[in-house]
A and B are shown apart, each in its own frame.
Chain A
Amino acid sequence: MTAIAAEVGSEIPVLATMVTRETLVRYAGASGDFNPIHYSDFHATALGLPGVIGHGMLTMGLALRAVTDWVQDPARVRGAFVRFTRPIPVPDDAIGAELVITGTVTKIAAGIATVALDVRHGSEKVLGMATAEVDIS
């Protein structure tokens, strides 16, 4: 593997992506997470949610896609952590919910870069303390 050029403070390319009801249906099938709060407004509102919300693990997967888009080889990702701080309401319309993912290298040690990830829906941060550890050697 060729080393990835990065230093503390380097920013990874921004990933902006739309999450629609179709995204949630696809993710439910692919992941096996069929919790109805991710496809049924009836069930979501019964639990006090404003409506259907996205899967937390989908958000984590999209956040890491920003990292793998950057380093290209996903085998470089050694670890990741996210706190699910805010649900993402996904309306039943033609637009969906936009997520914007940015990331900054905060540490490099022994060839492993720590990337702090910022995942936003509009102005709201939806993940807390999101980080990925990436082998850049």
Chain B
Amino acid sequence: MISDAHAGRSYPPTEPYEVTRAKVAEFAAALGDDNPAYRGDAPIAPPTFAAVIAGQAWGALWSDDELGLELRRIVHGDQRISHRRPLRAGDLVTATPTIDKVRNRGGVDIINSSVVLSSVDGEEICTASSTFMHTRPADQQEQQ
């Protein structure tokens, strides 16, 4: 079961993700956003595109058997995104997830985690910090 003992746990960086013009344009279109910065030869990505890449890193938590998390029991509570610079088409980015803090309240695990997105050259580009609420199955509710 996940507990505060897991605070500070980090996972290896994901395989590099390439930000492409086509994916940026598709993402902007999904937001109904016709901002010209997202099109052309050298587009930047919308600020929340960071979560597309961070989302792939969250998988490390869901598949860590020691934490006992079930994806279908998880609700996204809050999200922060901090950019040193925008993501750009052509960036090759890895995502490194860390568990920052865990609280257990009445059968709900409140998990603060952050994912740092860096270029393969080691430049930190942005951080996506999330709170997830995980409702424990009924038979594990008494284990605090």
A residues adjacent to B (C-beta < 8 A): 17, 23, 26-27, 29-33, 35, 47, 56-58, 60-62, 64-65, 68-69, 72-75, 77-84, 128-129
- Which residues of A lie under 8 Å from residue B76 when comparing CB positions? 56-57, 84
Sorting the interface of chain B by its residue count into under 10, 10 to 19, 20 to 34 or 35 or more gives 20 to 34
* Contact A32 B56, beta carbon cutoff 8 Å: yes
* Contact B83 A78, beta carbon cutoff 8 Å: yes
**Cross-interface CB contact of A79 among B32, B77, B83, cutoff 8 Å:** B83
Could you show 10 A-B contacts with beta carbons less than 8 Å apart?
A: A31-B27, A32-B55, A35-B71, A57-B51, A68-B35, A68-B46, A74-B86, A75-B37, A84-B75, A128-B78
B residues adjacent to A (C-beta < 8 A): 23, 26-27, 29-33, 35, 37-38, 44, 46-48, 51-52, 55-56, 71-72, 75-83, 85-86
* Contact B35 A79, beta carbon cutoff 8 Å: no
Distance in angstroms between the alpha carbons of A33 and B71 in the assembled complex: 12
Known A-B contacts A29-B30, A31-B52, A32-B52; A78 and B82 likewise in contact (beta carbons under 8 Å): yes
- Which residues of B lie under 8 Å from residue A75 when comparing CB positions? 37, 44, 85-86
- Which residues of A lie under 8 Å from residue B77 when comparing CB positions? 83-84
**Cross-interface CB contact of A30 among B30, B47, B78, cutoff 8 Å:** B30
